[in-house]
Amino acid sequence: MKFNKTFLSVLCLFGSLSGFAQTNTSKPKLVVGIVVDQMRWDYLYRYQDRYTQNGFNRLLNEGFSNENTYIPYLPTYTAIGHSTIYTGSVPAIHGITGNDFIMQDSGQSMYCTQDDSVQTVGGTGKVGQMSPKNLLTSTVTDQLKLATNFRSKVYGVSIKDRGGILPAGHFADAAFWFDGDTGNWVTSTFYMNELPGWLNKFNDKKLTDKYLKEWKPLYPINTYKQSIADKNNYEQTYKGQEHSVFPYNLAKLKKDNGLGLIRSTPYGNTLTKDIALAILENEKLGQNEAGITDFLAVSFSSTDYVGHQFAPNSVEIEDTYLRLDQDLGEMLTKLDQTVGKGNYLVFLTADHGGAHNPKFFQDQKGNAGYFNSSATKKELNTFLQTKFGNKELVRSLTNYQIHLDYTAIKSEKLDEMAIRQSIVHFMQSVDGVSFVADMDRIGETAIPALLKERMVNGFNRKRSGIIQYVLEPQWYSGKKDAGGTTHGTWGSYDAHIPFVLMGWGIKQGKNYNRVHMTDIAPTVAALLQIEEPNGNIGQPVAEVINHP
C-alpha cells in the first residue's frame, strides 16, 4: 500500500501533536514552593539591575509574574500568610489568626503550631513540640498526598517552625526547622521518632558555626545606591553592639547572641538553601515513579529577621536580597541538574511585606506613627473600670484586635454589649486609629468595602478578638522612635506580595489584573489536576497555565 507525501505529513503532524498533548497532560516530577518572609513586591524590581541572571531575574524572564497579588485579610503576619498560601483560605476558615492567638472561650494563649502532645526529635525542650494540628483545613500539599494515595513525598523546611510546618500540611513526610540553641535542624514526633541518618550527618557539619564569621557587603558599600547611609538612626543593633554598621564580626557577636544570631543575617537563608538541597538529594525528590509528583516547601526566613532589625531602606536589606538571589540561582541550577529543566514547577511568593520605619518616614516629612498597644490597653481598662467596676476586662490588643475577659464578664454578670460599645467609642478617639468595628456589627460600620472584607476574612470567632481596629497608613504597633520595622497592617507595603511561577506548565509573561494570595493554592492544584484544599476560597489564575 502506497502513501502520498501529504498523507504522511498529516500523519507525522498528528503524531507530533499527540506526543505534545501527552507531554503536557503529564505531571511535573517536583513542585518547589518558595516563600520569602517579609518580601515586599517591589523588591523584585528595586534591586533588579544588581540581581544575577540565575535567581530572581531567571524567574521573571522565564516565568510568569502576577504583578498585583494582594493579601485579602487582616492582620498580615507570618503564620497566617504561610497558611493562606497553601490552603487558599483565610483565618476565618483555616483558623490560624496570628503567630500567637487567644482561644476566646478560655483565654488561653496559643502559639500557631503549638502541640504539647508531641516531643522534640533531634533536640531538647519545647523547640520541637510543634505540629500542624491548629490548622483547621487541608493544604495543597495534603491534597497532593490524597490524590496519589500518599505516594507523593512532601517536605517542608524553614528556620522558623511555622514556616516549615504549615506549608507541609498534615500528611507530610516531614517538616524540619532550626534550633537556635544548638544550631541543629529538628522535627517532632508528629512526623518521626528519630532524625534520618543524612540529617544527623548534616547537623554534624556545624554549618552554623562556619557561616557565623563575618558579614561584610557583597559589593563595595558605595555601590548600594538604593539604600540610605550605613550608619543611621532607624535600625536596631545586635546584642552587645553600640551601632549597626558594616562589617559585622559575627564570631564575636555570637558570644552574646548565640547560634540563633544566624537568623538575623543573610547566612540563615544560605543555611536554609543548604538543607533544602540536602532534602532534595537524600530523599530523592522528583525521582518518584512515573506520574507521581513530589513537593518541597521552602521558606526563607532571614529576610524577615533582617527586615525587622534594619528596615527596608538599609544596606543590610539590600545585601540580604543580593545574597538570596545567589542562593536562589544555586537552587534552580541544582534542580535543572537533578530533576531536569522543564520537569519541575517552582513558585515564589511572600507571606507579607514590611513597612518603612515610621521615624524615617516622618523625617522625610511624611505622615507616620507608632501605636503603643500596651499603654492603650492600660488606658482602656482604666476607662472601663470607671464604667463597669472591673479592673481587667480587656485581656490583650494583640493582632490589632481587642480580646475580652469573658470569664470576668460572665462571673460579674456585666453587660457585654455595653462594654463592647464603650470600647468602640474609646478606640475611635485614640491617636493613629483609623477604623474600629465590633465584628458583630461590622455591616453597620462606615468602613471602606476593601478593608471591611479583609477584617471579615481575618475574623475567626473562636480565635480572634471581637473588636478589630485599623491604623492609619504608615502606623504600626510599636514603641515611639524604635528602630527597625514590622508588618501586620493593610497598606500595600504589607499586603502587596510577589507571585511568580516558572517551569512545568507555566507560560512566560506577566499579569496586571488583581489576584490574591488565596489564588496560589488553587492555581497549583489546577496545574497538578488535583482537588483544591477543602477550605479554599481562591480561584486559579488561568493566565499562567500553559496547557494545550
Q: pLDDT tens for residues 109-123?
A: 999 999 999 999 999
Buried b (16+ CB within 10 A) or exposed e, 58-87: bbbeebbbbbbbbbbbbbbbbbbbbbbbbb
The three-state secondary structure class of 323 is helix
Nearest to 175 by CA among 264, 276, 286, 303: 276
Count of helix runs (H) and strand runs (E) in the chain: 20, 19
Q: What pLDDT is stored for residue 20 in this prediction?
A: 33
CA distance linking residue 456 with residue 442, whole number of Å: 8
Q: Is pLDDT at 408 greater than 90 in this prediction?
A: yes
Q: Is 148 a catalytic residue?
A: no
Considering the chain, tell me which residue range(s) the CATH 3.30.1360.150 domain(s) occupy. Answer: 369-472
Residue 464 in contact with residue 25, Cβ under 8 Å?
Answer: no
Residue 364 pLDDT more than 90? yes
Which CATH class name applies to 369-472? Answer: alpha beta
**How many Å from the N-terminal Cα to the C-terminal Cα in the chain?**
34
Mean local confidence (pLDDT), 182-191: 98
Q: Which residues pair with 102 in a beta bridge?
A: 109
Query: In this structure, what C-alpha cell is assigned to residue 234?
Result: 532607624
**Banded pLDDT at 9 (limits 50, 70, 90):** very low
pLDDT for position 7:
36
pTM: 0.94
- Among candidate residues 41, 95, 93, 99, the one with its CA nearest the CA of residue 70: 41
Question: What's the average model confidence in pLDDT over 64-72?
Answer: 98
Residue 13 pLDDT: 36
In angstroms, what is the C-alpha Rg of the chain? 25
Q: What pLDDT score was predicted for residue 5?
A: 40
Residue 349, pLDDT above cutoff 70? yes
Q: What is the pLDDT of residue 425?
A: 98
- pLDDT for 291: 82
Q: Are 423 and 402 in contact (CB under 8 A)?
A: yes
**Grid coordinates belonging to 85:** 498560601
Q: How confident is the model at residue 320 (pLDDT cuts 50, 70, 90)?
A: very high
Cα separations in angstroms, 170 against 84, 277, 295, 331, 498: 15, 23, 14, 26, 26
- Least confidently predicted of 290-294, 397-401, 436-440: 290-294
Which strands, in side-by-side order, build the sheet including 394-396? 394-396, 401-404, 467-471, 433-438
Say what the pLDDT of residue 397 is.
Answer: 98
Q: Is 79 helix (H, G, I), strand (E, B) or coil?
A: helix
> Please, are residues 100 and 106 in contact by the beta-carbon 8 Å criterion?
no
Q: What is the 3-state secondary structure (H, E, C) of 189-209?
A: CCCCCCCCHHHHHHHHCCHHH
Give backbone dihedrals phi and psi of 511, rounded to 5 degrees, phi first.
-125, 125
Active site residue: 78, 141, 148, 303, which one? 78
CA neighbor of 417 nearest in space, from 447, 396, 440: 440
Residue 209: pLDDT over 50: yes
Identify the H or E element spanning 100. Answer: strand 100-103
**Three-state secondary structure of 169-187:** CCCCCEEEEEECCCCEEEE
- Region(s) of the chain under CATH 3.40.720.10: 34-357+491-544
Q: For the segment 223-245, what is each residue's pLDDT rounded down to a tens digit?
A: 999 999 999 999 999 999 999 99
CA distance 176 to 202: 12
Helix, strand, coil share (%) of the chain residues, nearest 5: 40, 20, 40
- What are the pLDDT digits (tens) for 130-166? 999 999 999 999 999 999 999 999 999 999 999 999 9
Cα distance between residue 70 and residue 41, in whole Å: 10
- Could you report the per-residue pLDDT of 21-50, keeping only the tens digit for each? 333 448 999 999 999 999 999 999 999 999
Q: How far is CA 424 from CA 95, 365, 404, 417, 428, in A?
A: 25, 31, 13, 11, 6
Strands 499-503 and 154-158 come out as unpaired
Cα dihedral 71→77→82→85 (10° resolution): -10
8 A C-beta contact, residue 203 and residue 185: yes
At residue 289, the pLDDT reads: 78
User: CA torsion sign, 253 to 257 to 260 to 263?
Assistant: negative
Residues 6+ apart with CB under 8 A from 150: 171
> In the chain, what percentage of residues exceed pLDDT 70?
95
Pick from 519, 524, 518, 533: which is nearest to 505 by CA? Answer: 524
**Residue 548: band (very low, low, confident or very high) from pLDDT cuts 50, 70, 90:** low
pLDDT mean across residues, the chain: 94
Mean pLDDT of 336-362: 98
Q: CB neighbours of 188 closer than 8 A, spacing ≥ 6?
A: 115, 118, 119, 120, 121, 128, 129, 130, 131
> CA-CA distance, 538 to 366, in Å (whole number)?
36
The angle at the Cα of 20, spanning 15 to 24, to the nearest 5 degrees, equals: 150
Q: What are phi and psi of 94, to 5 degrees?
A: -80, -15
3-state DSSP assignment of residue 218: coil
Can you give the pLDDT at residue 391? 85
The verdict on domain 34-357+491-544 having CATH code 3.40.50.300 is: no
Q: Which amino acid is at 542?
A: A
For residue 35, give the 3-state DSSP assignment: strand
- Sort residue 503 into left (φ over 0), alpha (ψ -120 to 50) or beta: left
